[in-house]
Structure 1
């Protein structure tokens, strides 16, 4: 992993369409060395001789989301670390993602799947890849049918009757309701 002289400066969990990623950022404030580890794998290691502030950029996930870690001074001998994903700070990114997508993590036939419904386009992504679906209208909403490993699945979108809440989304796989992640 990281060298013993580097200390863990920041840790973030980033939810993307294909899965959640754990980002560790190590910063040696004596030499300026920076290391980025994603899910236990070192992806960036730079040695900026005595350049202690700045930024590190990298791509993340199947969609290659652009990530930037910014290092700013925060007092005489301390630093502040922020992560931006696709141009938004991590808090805003997570907020927007939870507002625009519905996410479910399921296991079917011994395989793990991440099912994401993009509310604005009604696209369904399985482990980050858009799939073909069949939609049909039902009373007060729609059903969007697809399959996971040959197992029938569908997402039901129904009106809640409350204007501020909009639609309620439910994933059903093989007639079992799957709990919502976000």
Structure 2
């Protein structure tokens, strides 16, 4: 289970389902942990370099988490999927899958039209 260092999460829509990606970043130790659908797929417990990229796959999609410094001990985290920024990838997937996300009474739902 996450131990409080989760700094970013993304919900990535693919053909089979929406996958949840969680990223932990220990800003003093450089620790990096990536989980996909609550399953740990990458762990680096001690890194001297606090910024950089971590590459991994979700299904057949190539993903990269980018860690960039914004200042002293401030970081920005972004996700690329198949070489595209997350928001652009998500827009394209939603068009391809004829789907959208909505919130009803505080619950997030994803609506997918069948073919």
- Structure-2-length-normalised TM-score: 0.81
Relative to structure 1, is the Cα distance of residues 171 and 19 closer, same or farther in structure 2, using a 3 angstrom cutoff?
closer
> 5+ unaligned residues in a row in structure 1: which ranges?
105-115, 117-169, 173-182
DSSP-derived class of the 1:50 partner: coil
- Structure-1-length-normalised TM-score: 0.52
Aligned counterpart, 2:58: 60
Relative to structure 1, is the Cα distance of residues 54 and 48 closer, same or farther in structure 2, using a 3 angstrom cutoff?
farther
**In the alignment, does 2:17 pair up with 1:19?**
yes
Aligned counterpart, 1:101: 97
Please, which of 80, 84, 101 is the counterpart of residue 80 of structure 2? 84
1:48 Cα deviation after fit: 4.3
Query: RCO greater where, 1 or 2, for CA within 8 Å and sep 6 or more?
Result: 2
Asked whether the equivalents of residues 11 and 20 of structure 2 are also in contact (C-alpha less than 8 Å), the reply is yes
Q: Which stretches of structure 1, 4 residues or more, deviate above 6 A after TM superposition?
A: none
RMSD: 2.1
Q: Any idea what the Cα deviations from partners look like across 1:94-132, whole Å, max 9, x if unmatched?
A: 11112233259xxxxxxxxxxx8xxxxxxxxxxxxxxxx
CA–CA distance in 1 between the matches of 2:15 and 2:114? 16
CA–CA distance in 1 between the matches of 2:11 and 2:81? 11
**In the alignment, does 2:58 pair up with 1:70?**
no
CA–CA distance in 2 between the matches of 1:70 and 1:96? 21
Asked whether the equivalents of residues 23 and 35 of structure 2 are also in contact (C-alpha less than 8 Å), the reply is yes
Comparing both structures, which one devotes a greater share of its residues to helix?
Answer: 2
Aligned counterpart, 2:34: 36
> 5+ unaligned residues in a row in structure 2: which ranges?
101-111
CA–CA distance in 2 between the matches of 1:95 and 1:171? 18
Q: Mapping of 1:70-149 within 5 angstroms?
A: 70-103=66-99
DSSP-derived class of the 1:96 partner: helix
